[in-house]
Amino acid sequence: MTVAVIAGSGALPGLVLDHSDALLVGLEGVAQDTGRELDISARFEQLGGLFESLTSRDVTEVVFAGAMGRPALDQTKFDMETLQMLPRLLPLLNQGDDALLSGIIAEFEAKGFAVRGAHEFVPDLLVGEGVLTASEPSADDLADAARGKAVLTALGALDVGQGCISCAGQVLGLETLYGTDAMLADVAARRGERLPSVGGVFVKRAKDGQDLRVDLPTIGPDTVAAAVEADLSGICLQAGHVQVLDRDAVVQAADQAGLVIWASA
């Protein structure tokens, strides 16, 4: 059994590699910063070539790890096998990320590759229920978290996003195609425009029915810094469904800033 990590940006691909003997696959146009030499280089437009490379290296399992944006496809670069997939994949480009990722998983599985989640290799990344920080959530924090959870639950069927910021019953931000960092930065830039100008909770959850093998919700030290910049009071995570990268640094930064982080169902 040989495993291949199809790497996006961020620390997660390196963590999976640290906990396995996996091969490293890089996709053109997708930044990956593991600091390691690629075993296989590929293009989105040439998935047939990627399948052949994986098979030639006796790969039977693949892991998608790290952030990947939607690719800008070059129509002159498609190989024949990818062209045959387009009638199935192109309609998914006009849907949410879950639909597109599910379609990509289906193509890999149809070729005989088992798709596994990064958390299967680094299980201690998943946050369990409870408070991570020294401080506990206040009654206002809990109310804001409940509001954010309700909003995300309502939007889950629309495949919109994994994050919401709520303060005093008001929704300050929703995670969309541009991701968590963009949402937090937008709230930080607009906090002075109207009340409430401080406080609130960033809620991070998987979408209902989401395939947790890919695009598992993730936070790290940069998320804490962005939440502090947005003058939030807390971060609430879905227990068992969110990864915390560099947990010691996350907790230390949150404690220093007086930010509470907890996980609940």
Range name among 81-90, 93-102, 146-155, 193-202 with the lowest pLDDT average: 93-102
Using one digit for the tens of pLDDT, what is the confidence trace for 25-42? 998 878 777 888 999 999
**What value does the mean pLDDT take over residues 173-193?**
94
Using an 8 Å Cβ cutoff, are 192 and 174 in contact? no
When computed from its CA atoms, the radius of gyration of the chain, rounded to whole angstroms, is 19
Query: Any residues with CB less than 8 A from the CB of 226 and at least 6 apart, and which?
Result: 180, 181, 184, 185, 188
Using an 8 Å Cβ cutoff, are 66 and 32 in contact? yes
Structure tokens at 240: 């068992």
Q: Is the pLDDT assigned to residue 71 strictly greater than 80? A: no
Query: Cα–Cα distance between 73 and 12 in angstroms, integer?
Result: 25
Structure tokens at 217: 């919700």
Pick from 132, 139, 141: which is nearest to 199 by CA?
141
> How deeply is 105 buried, as exposed, middle or buried, from its count of CB atoms within 10 A (0-12, 13-18, 19+)?
middle
Strand order through the sheet with 40-42: 40-42, 23-27, 2-7, 59-65, 114-116
**For residue 188, what pLDDT is reported?**
97
Domains and CATH numbers, the chain: 2-120 (3.40.50.20), 126-264 (3.40.140.80)
What average pLDDT does the chain have?
Answer: 92
Using one digit for the tens of pLDDT, what is the confidence trace for 225-265? 999 999 999 999 999 999 999 999 999 999 999 999 999 99
The CA dihedral of 24, 251, 207, 196, to the nearest 10 degrees, is -140
Using an 8 Å Cβ cutoff, are 5 and 25 in contact? yes
Give ∠ CA 82-88-90 in degrees, rounded to 5.
80
**What value does the mean pLDDT take over residues 71-93?**
87
**For residue 95, what pLDDT is reported?**
76
- Total-model pTM: 0.88
Using an 8 Å Cβ cutoff, are 227 and 253 in contact? no
Q: Is the pLDDT assigned to residue 70 strictly greater than 80? A: no
Using one digit for the tens of pLDDT, what is the confidence trace for 94-141? 777 778 888 889 999 999 999 999 999 998 899 999 999 999 999 999
DSSP state of 113: P
